[in-house]
Amino acid sequence: MINLLMRYVNLLVLTVSVLVIFSFSLAYLFPGDTLTNISGIVPETDAQRAALEEAFKLNSSIFAQFWHYLENLVSGNWGVSFTSQVGLFEQISIAFPASMELTIYALLVSIVVGIPLGFIGGIWHHKPFDFGVVSFSIVSYSFPVFWLALIFITIFSLQLGLLPLSGRVNLLYDVPHSSGFILWDIWQSDIPNKYDAFIDAIRHLILPTASIALVTTAIFIRFTRRAIMDEMEKGYIDAAKSRGFTTKQIFFKHGLRNALVPILPLMAMQVSTLITNAMVVETIFSWPGIGNWLIQAIYQRDYPAIRIGMLVVSVFVVTLTITIEFISRAIDPARDKFERATI
Amino acid sequence: MPQFNLYQEEFHPSPLMHVWLEFKRSHFALIGFAVLLLFCAIAILAPLLAPYDPNIQNTNTILLPPAWEGNGSIAHLFGTDALGRDVFSRTLYGCRVTFGSSVFLVLISVFCGVALGTFAGMSKGVKSSILNHLLDSLMAIPTLLIAIIIVAILGTGLWNSMWAIVLALIPQFVHQTRNFVREEMKKDYILLDKLDGTSSPRIFWSSILPSMFELLVVQGTMALSVAIIDISALGFLNLGAQNPVVELGASLSQSLEVAYSAPWLIALPGFCIFLMVLSINIVGEGLRSALRNRLVH
């Protein structure tokens, strides 16, 4: 166990340091002045330039610079945005929870819809209902997520006028920012029409969540279906049948549990896909999340923001993956190695 | 004693033939295959099929609806866009760019991935272990995210986005190849080769690669659908193909401004991407189940 933990910590440190070194070298790789790329400030006078170079230790050796960069990263002193001159740490701490909120709700929807459908498909495989489930999953897996979001907007916002087009909550409601999760913030706040604001926020959430969740639901259906099919073919199920258990007993006592263990970590791994899709959908729904922010930064050639945004998102995804991998191996020692999905 | 044999011509289908026989039992897979072939034909023959130049702006006919609507014209089958460009020609050329470049970049990443994966799978020790685990955890970063980051560094453009997606697709092939090579290297027929004194490149070339081919095709179809979605998503975000290159995702985002008055400009390119990805996924699914059933029978 300690051995396993050490191996994963080692892997995590190695990967994160590769990412940090990469992001540090981006300051040199990006076009333009290295000083501006690393600090986000365009020096106007020579004195200011010298002061900035001193502050970021640009005159020292590359290792001293990197060490200083690391210190800044850890202390949350991430420099300022090139275009808005606002601190990057503050911007990301607003944008990141917004994306996470969208991702978490989409994950919940996918689990609630995908797993039961996959179960039914897996039990009655090669029956008409299973055929429908599989077709649904293939079709929805093939949707380009941005097109799906546009279709939803066209149907539900423009044609039917049922749901709002963009944003997180109506501007009428002045929700104070505390955690960054809009529903939680509204719940915690003491604004007068809290209930209306809550409903409004949910109405804003429906379309983005649905367009992200559809693809992931398709993946979950296939994971679950395949896992159940494989599990129900195993020898111990036959043994249980021969002992006279009913199919229901076998399924709920053995098949379900054993099939769930390997696929739960696989599903958690899908968070990274969800985040990517959320980043694309955010730009369509003007959702103030990390994806929207990062893509705006790319349009504006805001190199400090791109550097930090890339680092934050990739470190988050890698940490999440390695942690899930570790947990899944710790609770299920029988598996020799982390398995990739089969669908 | 000579045995009586009623059937003179004995027929033993090759493994590939087995796959095809299994594959064509599913009608949906066949339809998907036909659609895929259609897109291949469009990608190759787009200049011959397209009635107009996709970038010629005809200001006399702006925002003409498709021919099946009341005031459409048969001269412009899918109508025209906000600059009077023929949408049918643009869709054909867009399919050509999106589909063609995706096929191209999947082939490149298969090649690089197999080369690296073979190296990683056949070598031993700390070096290969570091390479493997690092690649594994970097693979967790989704392709589109890597592509966005790489485009942010290299700058926008179709070629840059293609490189980005190639780089993002390579790790999964490395992973698959490495695992497969690892498994095969343990088997007896490889040991036999080794005892015969075969060199490592030859073992790979004549023993491992033929049995890996099917795996690569299946993985390749999955990668192709990811590549199409990613390249059009980058185009949609204005990070990929820029004007005058006609790309489906890019033309979709250009028609966003007139989305309310001309919804077909959003529907048609998006539907093309959808159909492309759907046919690839159906073919991939058919191939997977054909391979699985072939092993069962």
Interface pTM (ipTM) of the complex?
0.85
Residues 31-90 of B with CB under 8 A from A: none
**DSSP state for residue B256 in the 8-state scheme:** G
| Chains A–B, number of C-beta pairs less than 8 Å apart | 117
Biggest CA–CA distance in chain A, Å, is: 87
Which helix (H) or strand (E) is A222 found in, with range? helix A194-232
pLDDT at A335: 62
Domain A97-289 has CATH 1.10.3720.10: yes
Domain boundaries, chain A: 97-289
Tokens matching residue A222: 């296939």
Contact B239, A298 (CB under 8 A): yes
| pTM, entire model | 0.87
Q: Which of B137, B145, B263 lies nearest to residue A11, judging by beta carbons?
A: B137
pLDDT at B8: 66
Average pLDDT over residues B110-122: 87
C-alpha to C-alpha distance for A20 and A25, rounded to whole angstroms: 9
Tokens matching residue B291: 């391979």
With beta carbons under 8 A apart, name residues in chain B contacting A154: 259, 263, 266
Query: Do residue B249 and residue A299 have CB atoms under 8 angstroms apart?
Result: no
| Bridge partner residues of A80 (DSSP) | A87
**B256 in reach of chain A (CB within 8 A):** yes
Q: Per residue in B12-24, pLDDT tens?
A: 778 788 888 888 8
Complete DSSP assignment for B46-86:
HHHH-SS-TT---TTS-SPPPTTSTT--TTSTT-B-TT--B
pLDDT at A211: 93
Sign of CA dihedral B118, B121, B122, B123: positive
Residue B3, judged by CB atoms within 10 A of its CB (0-12, 13-18, 19+), counts as exposed
Q: Which of A251-260, B137-146, B252-261 has the lowest mean pLDDT?
A: B137-146
**B273 in reach of chain A (CB within 8 A):** yes
Query: Each residue's pLDDT tens digit in chain A (343 positions)?
Result: 788 888 888 888 888 888 899 888 888 887 777 777 777 777 788 888 888 777 777 777 888 888 888 888 888 888 888 788 888 888 888 889 989 889 999 999 999 999 889 888 888 878 888 889 989 999 999 999 999 999 998 889 888 888 888 878 777 777 777 777 878 888 887 777 888 888 888 898 999 999 999 999 999 998 888 888 888 888 888 888 899 888 888 888 888 888 887 787 777 778 888 888 888 899 999 888 888 898 888 888 888 888 888 888 888 888 888 888 888 878 777 665 544 444 4
Averaged pLDDT score across all residues of chain B:
85
R_g (Cα) of chain A, nearest Å? 24
